[in-house]
Structures are given as C-alpha cells and as structure tokens.
Amino acid sequence: MEIRPILSALLRNRTGPLLVALQVAITLAVLCNAAFIVQQRLAKMDRPSGYDEDNLVTLQVINFGRLPKEAGLAAIAADLGALRAMPGVVAASATASLPMSNAGFGWGFQRTADANDPTNTSASLMLADQYGLEAFGLQLESGRWFTPEEIGTAADFAEFGATLPATVVISRALADQLFPDGKALGATVYDSSTRAPATVIGIVERAQGYFVNNPGVERSAFYPVVIASGESLYYVIRTRPGERAAVQREVESALLAVDPRRILRDVRSFGEIRATAYQNDRAMTITLLTVIALLVAVTVLGVFGLMSFNVNRRRKQIGTRRALGARRSDVVRHFLLEGWIVTTAGAVIGVALAVGLSVWLVSTFDLPKLDWRYLPVGVLALWIVGQLAAYGPARRAAGIEPATATRSV
C-alpha cells in the first residue's frame, strides 16, 4: 500500500516511533536469548536419569556413633530384610550416596595402568549391592549385574579405598568414552589413582551420576561394595507402581521397629531429589519466562500507546481522508501498516542486538551460542503481537466520522 507517505510521516515525528522501535529491539534481543536459555534448561531437565524415578523412595540412616564391621553389616541386612517385607516394596538396596544429589564420589578410570594415561576419564562412582539393579530400576544393556558373592564389604571408606573390588558395572556413556571402539564389556579398566584393575562385567543403558550440572553426569560406574560403618548410608527402595506414597509414609516406622536408636533423615521420593537437583534450572526457567511475559506486555503497551497517540493527534486528518473517500478498512490498514513499519524497524535493530547479547553471554558466561532459528521466530512473534497491539487504535481510527474534517478543533 502507501508505505512511502506513512514512512515520511513517521520520520517527521520520529521520537515516538524511535522509542517504540528501540523497545521492540531490546525485547527481541532478550526474547530470543531468554527463550533459547529456557529451551536449553528444559531439555536439560528433560533428560532421563536411567532410574525408575516414579517408584523410588530414598532415605539416609545416621547411627549414634560408629558400628564395628560385623555389627554394621548385620544391621544393614536386617534393615533391608524389613524393607523388603513391607507391602508394596519390590526391592531395597544399600548404597553410600544418591545419584543426582549433588554429593558423592568423583572417580577417575582409565584403560591402562600408566601414570599419564590420556584415557583418564572422570565418572560418578556409586557403591551397590546385589539388589542395586532392581532397586534402582536400571536397564542392563549387556553383561550382568553383581552376584551376591561378588559384593565386597569394608569397615569404612578408608578400608574401601585400600581394597577396591575386581568387577565394575559402567554406564553406556562411560563405556563410549573409555572404549570408542565399542569393546567395553569384558575389558579391564583401572582406577586412575591406585591403578587397581577391574573387569567390566555389565553395561547399563543409563545411570546419571551425582552432579547434574556437570557435563559428565551421564558417566557413572558401580562398584560391588557395602560399607559397614554407617558413615554415609542410604537405602534405595523401589515400590510397585502406585504404592510409593504409602511406602514413603510407612518406611520410618518400619526401620525404627528394627532399631529405634538412630536418626532417619531425608525420606524422599526421587521426584524430590530431582526437583532439588534441578531447582536452579527450574528457577531460571520460571524467572526467564516471567521476564519474557512482562517484557512482551510492556512492549505491547508501548506500541498501543504510540498508535493511540498518533490516532488522537490525527483525528482531523483521518476525518479528511474519510471525507475524501477512504473506507474504514483503508484506515485500519493504514494504522496496521504504520505499526508494522515501527515493529519491523525495531526488529532489524533487535536482530543485531540479539546477536550482540548472545556474543556477550557466550564470552562472559560460557553459555552456548544462540541458535539462529530463534531470530526469525522471535521477529514473527513480535510482528504478531505488534499487529495485535495496533489493531485496537486502528479500529478506533476507523470509527472517526468523516464530518470531523469540517469541525474546527
């Protein structure tokens, strides 16, 4: 239509349109980058952990003082027996730390016993007994899980460090990292500090480690060990579908019935562990979405305000146009086009700004580079909300009577 006259009218009174264009520009820059970060966080939170999360209950046991080795092992066996006897429980297992809990052993594995082996790879190390596979609900991809005979015992962590087991189960991600050739099962891996060897007897499809913010979270390994001291003792209980809440309610009394002189802490579903693990990501997502929503709202107000102001200022001119034969639809179109021009001018600056912002985020905070596809989507979104914002004032302009032209004020 009549872009040139609209453009020259905008340029004559350029401060208002310029301000709105700048708003659109900053909004686009923030919108694209924030939406990109949100998408990344959502993808991160959406990663499967490899555990049967819906049906897991976990808790920590703290003894008053330290138990001797035999007594400790007997206490654990008694507890696990009581847990298994609970209605709705499928399996129960003892371990020294919980995955995704942001606390646990970081361990190094490598393919040879050399001191400077470049294959040295970090992984989350978890301790498990023969029930671990079933209790965590892990998917065994190849090989086998530990037999009861393989489960080693240690009085405490010091003894464990001195007598590492000879077998290990690793996650697919760790297998791929150590053995790009795909021959992990049956191979020997070495603990990178003591260089003690262990045979890979099984590979689980997926078992996320302790630190969800660590890029290596998918790499994990299980040693068949139970620590007797109770220095750090957790139980993992898998329930039948739908019975988790009931088990979670009853578990404390079941264990205190075995031995009341201890403290049971953090009886939690895996969902709670996951929520804690990802709380920063979730908070970031919610905050960014709030900022995006408010930002778009303010920008819509800006476009709306500018268009309303322009319509009011030009009542007489619009009346004259109507008197000269412009249809209502022509007037609506005129103002929509005007809004579109301002939005587009802003979008052009905004694309540059978005790229600039992304460069800053990448260089300062090590965030990944903005996916360019967010730019056209962002522009499209702003076009749409811009047109929606301009529509109201444009309709009002179309309602101006042609007779306005002949009135004096």
Partner 1 sequence: MFAYHLRLALLSLRRTPVVSLLMIVAVGLGIGVCMTMLSVYALMAGDPIPEKSDVLYAVQLDNWSPDRPFGEPNEPPRSLTWRDSLALLERTPAGIPRTVTVGTGFVVEVPGAQDVRPEIVTARAASVDFFSMFQVPFIHGSAWSASHDADGAPVIVLSRALNERLFGGEDSVGRELRIGNDLLRVVGVIDHWQPTPRFYDLSVGAFADTDEAFVPIALFDRHQQDWGGVSGSINCWQAPPAEGVFHSECVFAQFWVELPDETAVADYRAFLDAYVNEQKKLGRFARPLNNRLSDVNTWLDVNEVVQDDNSVLLGLSFMFLAVCLLNTVGLLLAKFLGRAGDVGVRRALGASRTRVFGQHLVEVGLLGALGGLLGLALAWAGLLGVRRLYVDYERVAHLNAELVAIAVGLAIAAGLAAGLYPAWRICRIQPATSLKTQ
- Judged by CB, which is closer to partner 1: 30, or 225? 30
- Judged by CB, which is closer to partner 1: 74, or 301? 301
CA distance 64 to 259: 11
Under a CB-based contact definition with an 8 Å cutoff, are residues 347 and 383 in contact?
A: yes
State yes or no: residue 78 binds partner 1 (CB under 8 A): no
- Residue 13 — φ and ψ, nearest 5°? -115, 70
CA distance 247 to 55: 10
- Judged by CB, which is closer to partner 1: 138, or 306? 306
How many alpha carbons fall within 13 Å on the CB side of residue 329? 1
- Judged by CB, which is closer to partner 1: 283, or 380? 283
- Judged by CB, which is closer to partner 1: 111, or 328? 111
- Judged by CB, which is closer to partner 1: 64, or 215? 64
Closest CA to 167 of 134, 136, 130, 141: 130
State yes or no: residue 349 binds partner 1 (CB under 8 A): no
Q: Measured from the CB of residue 134, what is the shortest distance to partner 1 in angstroms?
A: 30
Q: Count residues contacting partner 1 (CB under 8 A)?
A: 61
State yes or no: residue 283 binds partner 1 (CB under 8 A): yes
* Stated length of the chain: 409
Under a CB-based contact definition with an 8 Å cutoff, are residues 246 and 149 in contact?
A: no
CB neighbours (10 Å) of residue 32?
Answer: 29
Q: Measured from the CB of residue 51, what is the shortest distance to partner 1 in angstroms?
A: 22
Closest CA to 338 of 358, 357, 310: 310
List the one residue from 6, 7, 9, 16 that touches partner 1 (CB under 8 A).
16
State yes or no: residue 325 binds partner 1 (CB under 8 A): no
State yes or no: residue 392 binds partner 1 (CB under 8 A): no
Under a CB-based contact definition with an 8 Å cutoff, are residues 198 and 118 in contact?
A: no
Under a CB-based contact definition with an 8 Å cutoff, are residues 404 and 318 in contact?
A: yes
List the one residue from 46, 149, 181, 366 that touches partner 1 (CB under 8 A).
366
Which amino acid does the sequence have at 354? A
Under a CB-based contact definition with an 8 Å cutoff, are residues 154 and 132 in contact?
A: no
Q: Considering only 157-165, 179-187, 369-377, 378-386, which stretch makes contact with partner 1 by CB under 8 A? A: 157-165
State yes or no: residue 280 binds partner 1 (CB under 8 A): yes
Three-class secondary structure of residue 237 per DSSP: strand
Q: Would you give the end-to-end CA distance of the chain in angstroms?
A: 30
CA distance 127 to 133: 11
List the one residue from 287, 362, 376, 403 that touches partner 1 (CB under 8 A).
287
H and E: helices and strands count for the chain: 12, 12
Q: Measured from the CB of residue 331, what is the shortest distance to partner 1 in angstroms?
A: 20
CB neighbours (10 Å) of residue 292?
Answer: 17
State yes or no: residue 9 binds partner 1 (CB under 8 A): no
List the one residue from 4, 12, 65, 149 that touches partner 1 (CB under 8 A).
65
List the one residue from 5, 48, 81, 161 that touches partner 1 (CB under 8 A).
161
Q: Measured from the CB of residue 62, what is the shortest distance to partner 1 in angstroms?
A: 5
CA distance 67 to 272: 30
State yes or no: residue 39 binds partner 1 (CB under 8 A): no
State yes or no: residue 306 binds partner 1 (CB under 8 A): yes
Q: Measured from the CB of residue 98, what is the shortest distance to partner 1 in angstroms?
A: 15
Under a CB-based contact definition with an 8 Å cutoff, are residues 156 and 228 in contact?
A: yes
Site for partner 1 in 115-144 (CB under 8 A): 115-116
CA distance 106 to 151: 21
List the one residue from 64, 181, 257, 363 that touches partner 1 (CB under 8 A).
64
List the one residue from 6, 19, 254, 341 that touches partner 1 (CB under 8 A).
19
Q: What's the sign of the alpha-carbon dihedral 263, 266, 270, 276?
A: negative
Q: Measured from the CB of residue 294, what is the shortest distance to partner 1 in angstroms?
A: 6
Q: CA-based diameter of the chain, in Å? A: 104
State yes or no: residue 37 binds partner 1 (CB under 8 A): yes
- Positions in the binding site for partner 1 (CB under 8 A): 15-16, 19-20, 22-23, 26-27, 29-30, 33-34, 37, 62-66, 103, 115-116, 156-159, 161-162, 164, 191, 193-194, 231, 263, 265, 276, 279-280, 282-284, 286-288, 291, 294-295, 298-299, 301-302, 305-306, 309, 312, 357, 360-361, 364-367
